[in-house]
Structure 1
Amino acid sequence: MDATDQESEDACLIEYTVNPAEPATHAVVEAVAAVSGTDAEELPSLYEFVETEALDQLVAPRISEVPRDDVTVQFTYCGKIVTVSGKTITVHPTGE
C-alpha cells in the first residue's frame, strides 16, 4: 500500500496506489479505512454501495497486466467520494 495524505480540504483525503495483485474492492476498503482511522473490518460491506464483482472486472489489468487507465469509476462509500482510475484510488470528502 502506498498512500499519500493531502493537506487541503479541497484536495483528496488520500491517494492509494493499488498493488497489481490486489483486487480494487479490497484497495477501496483499505483506502477508506485509512482515511476514516478505523479498521477495515469495521466498515460496512462495500457491496451495499457498489457492485463489487463488476468494479473488480472493470478496473482489472488486461491480459498484458497493464492497468486499465481508460476506465474511471466513482461512487460514494462511508460518506466519502471514491474514484477508482487505473491503479489509483482517490478518496474525497463529500462536501457535506
Structure 2
Amino acid sequence: MAESDCIATGPHHTDVSVGTEDMTVQYDISQTTPVHAIVEALCVARDEAYDELPPLHEFIDTDALNSLLQTDNDARVIFDYQGHTIAVRTDSVTVGPAV
C-alpha cells in the first residue's frame, strides 16, 4: 500500500510509532478530524488502502465522535473495529493488534 492510498497523509499526522502490540498516530485536530486520523491509523496498521476498509460509520457514530473530541480536550473514546481496539484522543489514535 502506498502512503497516498491513505486519506490523512502529509501534514495532517505528525508521528507514527509502531510497537509490538499497539500502533499510535499523532495528529493535529486543527488540521484533520479524529475520524480521518482513525482511518489513517487503520490504513497503516492493516496495510490496506482506505477504500478497502469497511465504513467506519457502521461501527461508531462518526459525527458524534468528531464533535466530542473537537469540544472536550480530555475525552478518550475506545471501540472495537475489525478485530482491533481503537483508542482515540484529541491528539492521537492508537490501534491495538488484530485479534
Instruction: Please give the range of the TM-score, normalised by the shorter of the 2 chains.
Output: 0.7 to 0.9
For 2:61, the equivalent position in structure 1 comes to 51
Aligned-partner Cα distance in 1 for 2:80–2:66: 16
Give the number of aligned pairs: 85
Greater per-residue helix proportion: 2
What is the percentage of aligned positions where both structures have the same residue? Answer: 31
Matches within 5 A, 1:82-93: 82-93=86-97
Tell me, in whole angstroms, the C-alpha distance in 1 between the residues paired with 2:96 and 2:37.
Answer: 15
Give the TM-score normalised by structure 1.
0.80
Q: Which amino acid aligns with 1:15?
A: T
In the alignment, what sits opposite 2:48? 38
Q: Unmatched 5+ residue regions in structure 2?
A: 1-12
Runs of 4 or more consecutive aligned structure 1 residues displaced over 3 Å after TM superposition: none
Contact 2:34 2:90 in 1 (8 A): no
Unmatched 5+ residue regions in structure 1? none
